[in-house]
Amino acid sequence: MASEGLKVSPVFGKCASFTCYRIERGVIVECQNMPNPLFPPNRLASLLHELDVRVLITGTIEREAAEALRAVDIEVVPNRGGTARHAAEVYLARTLIGSDESDEEELDVVEA
């Protein structure tokens, strides 16, 4: 989760930190926070991959950053807001029970 305090960061590249949730059987069991190292997109994607991040939830995200994350098999879920915990819980609920809604905005990224 790209974060600003307890909230989802509105802009991935300028987030203050990453809130990392460990999930077991669809339930959040641990939460850790990592300050944003402000690495270039490819290096940040590699770091997040090494930390076993599988999904990145954020507000807007630059195309280059989204492509770098996807290249290391990290799912990108943009255009989210609210608290980080709530966004994670909503994502988990949709993953576990599925959703009939077509959410085309999830594909939106911004040009850098």
Question: How do residues 6-25 score in pLDDT, each as one tens digit?
Answer: 999 999 989 999 999 998 88
DSSP-derived secondary structure for 57-70: E-SB-BHHHHHHHH
Residue 98 scores a pLDDT above 80: no
Q: Which of 79, 76, 60, 59 is nearest to 68 (CA)?
A: 76
Residue 102 — very low, low, confident or very high, per pLDDT cuts 50/70/90? very low
DSSP-derived secondary structure for the chain: -EEETTEE-SBGGG-SEEEEEEEETTEEEEEEEEE-----HHHHHHHHHHTT--EEE-SB-BHHHHHHHHHTT-EEE-S--SBHHHHHHHHHHHHHH------GGGG--B--
Over residues 25-70, the pLDDT tens digits come to 888 899 999 999 999 999 999 999 999 999 999 999 999 999 999 9
Residue 76 — very low, low, confident or very high, per pLDDT cuts 50/70/90? very high
